[in-house]
Chain A
Amino acid sequence: MSETDNKDSASNDSAIKPQPGKLPEAVDGGSENDAVAKEPLLSREQLLSAREDSAHLREMAADLREDAVQLREETVTLREHANPLFSAALHGQDSSPTESIQEATSILRQANEHLVIATLEAQKQAEQIQQAKDQLDYLAHHDALTDLPNRILLQDRLNQAIELARRQSKNFAVMFMDLDRFKHINDSLGHAVGDQLLLSVAHRLKGCVRHSDTISRHGGDEFVLLLSSIEHAEDAALSAQKMLAALALPHRIDRHDIHISVSIGISIYPNDGRDAETLIKSADTAMYCAKESGRNNYKFFESNMNALAVRRQNTEAGLRRALERQEFILHYQPEIDLHSGRIIGVEALIRWRHPELGLLAPEQFVPIAQECGLILPIGRWMLREACFQARLWQQAQLPAIPVSINISGVEFRDKCFLKNIRSALKEAGLEPRYLELELTENVLMQDTDLTNSVLHALAELGVKLAVDNFGTGCSSLSYLRTFSIDTLKIDRSFVNRMIGNQDDAAIVSTVINMGKSLNKRIIAEGVETPEQAAFLMARQCDEGQGYYFGYPVAAEAFTHSLQTGV
């Protein structure tokens, strides 16, 4: 039997669960604090404090042991005193035997008294030490924030499940769960809210499992569920659906209604792995596929997923190298005045000059960069590069036009975002009005307080703001009134279909009219044909961008376009 066989389960933790902030002084026979703790949670600070208390307890136990030894020694001394008195009284050597017996009895009583106290003290100490050991053992096997089993305990339970399933020729499932976009919440609302959210999620997940299952926190926003006994793979699918449904309702935390979903990967013993490590890895791989296919869903592991996972890992590693080796470049696409045909702006678009795969478009690596956090250094590089290039064109006496770059939600909510903008502008010597930041509607609608304050600061700085892919995100338009938006970029999907589809044509016309009424610049994206350009001009759209006017090109080629005006 393994070392942790008798650990209490996730859904029924009991006697040895530590009390927040302190270790119970369990067995001193008096205080109310002796009672075992009922409160299930320990913060990181409390965990630290519990460990300190435990060390203190051990020191105290050592002192008490010394006291007990002293008491025993005193007992022996007392008995040694009493024995001659009894002996003298019995053999008539004492002048008053009754007094001697009384004195000897009293001494013996005293000795017994010491012995009783010393023995009880010793028992209490042994129990205290055992309890402290149990508590430390509990802490070592449970997550301090959620009180769920941690990965060590999960590993142990998995090993037991494997052993049992092997003997009984049965199946079990491992579900790897990762919260979708948890990092954004942590970054924007702070770690305290993030921790509360994790607690709320843990609570809901715990409510979805049977007593015999183990739901563990694997670290960060990852949870792993061991479904210890399933008849068919469909049983695991039902559990996954239950988990997804449990998380569908918003979490009310600190005045925020937070929506969070989860992506789930499922592996089945023995098909997807015969050891704990492989089973978790397979479930993890399947989870990534669930994320890639739109999040908030579940996927069973398939052997070809390994190839995808390897490719993804390679991309991530390659991105890190690309930053060091400066493999990224910017391509520039013109924004055109539809009436005059002049270049009135430029959008900087990132490309990765991959040493083996050639030039990669952003959709081939930006999603991965966003997931692994590399989007922040990549975004900083892009911002700086675009500002320097815009300044170079100005220094070359070319027409001064604003350069726009796309900003992801991760970058926008980064604490250093404003600082990075200021320093990029300063270092390049570019006036803020020549920088335009493109944000999607979804980025603008998340955490409106933060959005408002950042946008306000940007507007004060003089940087221009554009809503990218307008019409595809959040349906509320009130943000156009709330935020200082300069430009609306009509999404290419509407522009592509507006000639043959009346609805799309109506949407494009409406956006143009609305934008003009609100004094916004309107740019139609994805203009590819002269018919589309004519359609837009007929509806008083002033600006366009797309292959019809010019493909994204390297800085040198775009310099030429600026020089010739074509």
Chain B
Amino acid sequence: MNDLPRHRIIKILTAQLPEKPTDAAINLWELMATQIISVIGESGFSSIYARSLFLTQSTCPWLPADSTAPEEHRFAALKKSLDGQPPSQANEANNLLLTTFTDILASLIGETLTNHLLDLAWGGNDALDRSGNEVQNE
């Protein structure tokens, strides 16, 4: 996998999840979903999310197969399956899932717009700021 800036950002965000890692992981998804849905709509997001789950299942077969859920419970199944795993494994899976999702998104709307949306979603995060600086310093 190419070590793109957004990959590194995702890696940092998923590696530093606090005491309740699953809640934090789902929070990342919700923040991202809000921004992405504003551009590609609810169905567009669901479509990429379903595809990401399917692709990631080859590595983490315990991830949920069914991604069709009402908007308010969009990530309920993901939360449940992450909760069922040890934190390190859950973080690793979430890292892979987010990376896959953003790879597909970038292939559709381009790297720049993807990064912009991620910045809008996670911009307030300290880790992201640090990572951004790291990227700029390279």
Binding site for B on A (CB under 8 A): 27-32, 34-35, 109-110, 112-113, 115-117, 119-120, 124
Contacts and interface: CB of A to CB of B under 8 A. Distances in A.
Interface string B38-56: 1111111001101101100
A29 B50 contact: yes
Contacts of A110: 41
Contact of B47 (A31, A35, A109, A117): A117
A112 B67 contact: no
B4 interface: no
A110 B38 CA distance: 10
Identify which of A110, A116, A124 gathers the most chain B CB atoms within 10 Å of its CB: A116
Interface string B99-115: 00000100011000000
20 contacts: A27-B54, A28-B54, A29-B54, A29-B67, A30-B54, A30-B68, A35-B57, A109-B39, A109-B41, A110-B41, A112-B109, A115-B44, A116-B41, A116-B47, A116-B48, A117-B44, A119-B108, A120-B48, A120-B104, A120-B108
Interface in B16-60: 38-44, 47-48, 50-51, 53-54, 57-58
A29 B44 contact: no
Contacts of A120: 47-48, 51, 104, 108
A118 to B, nearest CB: 10
A30 B50 contact: yes
A112 B39 CA distance: 7
Q: Classify the secondary structure of B's interface with A.
A: helix
Contacts of A124: 51
A113 B58 CA distance: 26
A27 B109 CA distance: 22
A119 B66 CA distance: 21
B40 A116 contact: yes
Given A116-B108, A119-B108, A120-B48, A29 B41 contact: no
Nearest to B105: A116
A35 B56 CA distance: 12
A459 to B, nearest CB: 63
Contacts of B104: 120
A119 B58 CA distance: 22
Nearest to A27: B54
Given A30-B66, A112-B39, A113-B42, 9 more contacts: A28-B54, A29-B51, A30-B50, A30-B67, A30-B68, A35-B61, A110-B41, A115-B44, A120-B104
B135 interface: no
A113 B40 contact: yes
B105 to A, nearest CB: 9
A28 B57 CA distance: 13
B65 A113 contact: no
A34 B48 CA distance: 17
Contact of B41 (A27, A28, A35, A113): A113
Contacts of B67: 29-30
B58 to A, nearest CB: 8
Given A27-B54, A109-B39, A116-B108, A32 B65 contact: yes
Contact of B43 (A30, A113, A119): A113
Contacts of B41: 109-110, 112-113, 116
A116 B104 CA distance: 10
B81 to A, nearest CB: 14
Nearest to A117: B47
A119 B54 CA distance: 16
Given A117-B47, A120-B48, A29 B40 contact: no
Contact of A113 (B44, B53, B61): B44
Contacts of B53: 29
Nearest to A109: B41
Contacts of B65: 30-32
A115 to B, nearest CB: 8
A31 B47 CA distance: 14
A116 B46 CA distance: 10
Contacts of B42: 113
Identify which of B41, B42, B61, B65 gathers the most chain A CB atoms within 10 Å of its CB: B41
A410 B109 CA distance: 72
Interface in B54-100: 54, 57-58, 61, 65-68
Identify which of B44, B53, B108 gathers the most chain A CB atoms within 10 Å of its CB: B44
A112 B50 contact: no
B45 to A, nearest CB: 8
Contacts of B108: 115-116, 119-120
Contacts of A34: 54
A36 to B, nearest CB: 9
A249 B113 CA distance: 67
A22 to B, nearest CB: 18
Nearest to B46: A117
A34 B51 CA distance: 12
Given A30-B50, A30-B67, A117 B43 contact: yes
A397 B92 CA distance: 100
Contacts of A115: 40, 44, 108
B40 A112 contact: yes
A128 to B, nearest CB: 13
A31 B53 CA distance: 11
A35 B65 CA distance: 11
A39 B51 CA distance: 25
Nearest to B66: A30
